[in-house]
Amino acid sequence: MYRYLIIINPLGFLYGSAGAFLSPDNLVGRSGAKFPPDAYTLSGLFFAANKTEPFIDHEELKKLHIAGPFWAELNNPEYFYLPIPWTKIINQEENQTDEWEIRDGQWYRSEETKDIKPDSRWQTINYWEDSAAEILSNGGTSKDPWKYTSILHPKLTKTERCVQEEGGLFLENSVQMGYSTGDNADQETCLVYLSTHEIPDGWYCFGGENHLVEINSMKLPDDSWILQLLKQKIQRSCALITPGVWGSTRFSRRYPDPEHTTFPEPSHILTDRPSPYRYRVGDNKGKGRLGRGRYAVPAGTVYVFDEPLNKSWWGDRKEPGFPDELEFINESGFPNEWFPNEGFYLKQLGCGLCLPLDITGVD
C-alpha cells in the first residue's frame, strides 16, 4: 500500500513537453503539450538519487510503486486534487453541474442540462464520494493551477560566451506553477504523488530540462482516510485517477483483453481521446536507454461492469511483503496480468489506479 505523499515544490519553472509538432505557425509547440510529469519521471528520480547517495537498498528500491500525477495547495497537501470522473460535469464560471447516469442500458443526461460544458478538471480527494453539485458548492473543484510559457534559450560556443551562429537559439516550452483557482485562490500549489517509499527531503533536478524543485516526503498514518479510500473494493463502477495502459502486449487497449486475462469486459465506458504515455528504461547492464511509447486511457475514464468486480487496485493487505504480496495481489487485488510487463509491471508506475464510483442507475 502507498505509505507516503511525495510533495514537489517547483523553484521557478518546470519543463513541459515540447508537444506533438513544430511548425512556422506553432513555434512554441503547444499542440499536444503534456503536464504534469507522469509517475515514471519521479521513479527515475528515485533511482538516480539513490545511485548518487544511497538511501535505500537497491533490491528494496525495486519494489517501489508510485502513482500520480496529482497536485495540492502547498500548505495542505493531504487534501490533494485528482482528476474529476467523466460522469461529473462541473462548470465553475456558470455555477452549473450535471451528471451522466445509466438509463435503459445507455448513458443518459437530462435535456435541460445536457448543454453544460465542464471547465474544471480537478477535484479534492476528500470530496470523491460527493455529487458534482456538492463538490461545486463546497469549493472542491479547480482548473489547472499552472500556465505554459515559452523561454528563449541561447546555445553558446565552446570557447566564449557568445551565441552560436547557427542553431544558437531555441525555445523551451516551460510551465510555471501558480495558485489554486478555488475558494483558496491565494494558495501556492505543488505537485503530489503517492509512493510506497520515501525519498530524502532536499532539492533535486526534476523533469526533462532538470529544473530545480524542493521535495518532501509526508508519511501517511495507518488510519489515514486516504488509505481507507484506496482500500475500498470496486463493485460495478469505477473511475481512473491515473492514466491506464492495459494489456500484456505492445498494443494500447481501452481495457485489459478479456481473451487473455481475467478482466471482465465493461458494459459501459465513458472516456476521452487517449493521451501519450512514453518512458525510457536502461538495459540490463545499466547502459543505454530503451524508449517505450504507448497511448494511455486518460485519467477520469469511467468503467461500468455487468457484475461486481469486488477487487481494489491494491488488495486488502495492510503491509506489502515481497514476494508474497505479488501472489496476494493476484488473488485479492488487480492481477498483474492486467498490466503490461516490458521489463517491469506498469502497475509499479501506478498505471490504471482507480477508485469506486457511484453512478445513478448502477446498483
* Structure confidence at residue 11 as a pLDDT band (50, 70, 90): confident
Helix and strand numbers (H, E) in the chain are 5, 21
CA angle, corner 298, sides to 294 and 303, nearest 5? 115
Q: Average of pLDDT values for 109-132? A: 95
Question: Rounded CA gap, 13 and 73, in Å?
Answer: 17
> Which residue has better confidence, 25 or 341?
341
Query: How many percent of the chain have pLDDT more than 70?
Result: 85
Q: Average of pLDDT values for 5-34? A: 68
Cell triple for residue 219? 508519511
Cis ω before 221 (30° cut-off from 0): no
Which of helix, strand or coil describes residue 179? strand
pLDDT at 294: 84
Q: Average of pLDDT values for 170-197? A: 81
Question: Do the Cβ atoms of 282 and 274 come closer than 8 Å?
Answer: no
Which of helix, strand or coil describes residue 172? strand
pLDDT at 324: 41
Alpha-carbon separation of residue 45 from 18, 60, 86, 274, 350 (angstroms): 21, 16, 31, 26, 16
Quick check: 18 pLDDT over 70? no
Quick check: 80 pLDDT over 60? yes
pLDDT at 336: 84
Q: Average of pLDDT values for 268-283? A: 83
Quick check: 96 pLDDT over 60? yes
Place of cell 511548425: 23
Q: Which of 14-18, 55-59, 83-87 has the highest mean pLDDT?
A: 83-87
pLDDT at 286: 54
Which of 130-134, 158-162, 176-180 is the least confident region?
176-180
* Structure confidence at residue 145 as a pLDDT band (50, 70, 90): very high
pLDDT at 261: 87
Q: 316-331: per-residue pLDDT in tens?
A: 654 444 344 444 344 5
pLDDT at 249: 74
- The whole-model pTM stands at 0.89
Alpha-carbon separation of residue 158 from 162, 164, 165, 166, 297 (angstroms): 9, 9, 12, 13, 44
Which of 16-25, 63-72, 139-148, 295-304 is the least confident region?
16-25
* Structure confidence at residue 247 as a pLDDT band (50, 70, 90): confident
Q: For residue 25, how many C-alpha atoms fall within 13 Å in the half-sphere facing its CB? A: 1
pLDDT at 252: 85
Q: Average of pLDDT values for 86-92? A: 97
**Number of other CB atoms surrounding residue 67 within 10 Å:** 25
pLDDT at 133: 97
Which of 33-47, 113-127, 179-193 is the least confident region?
179-193
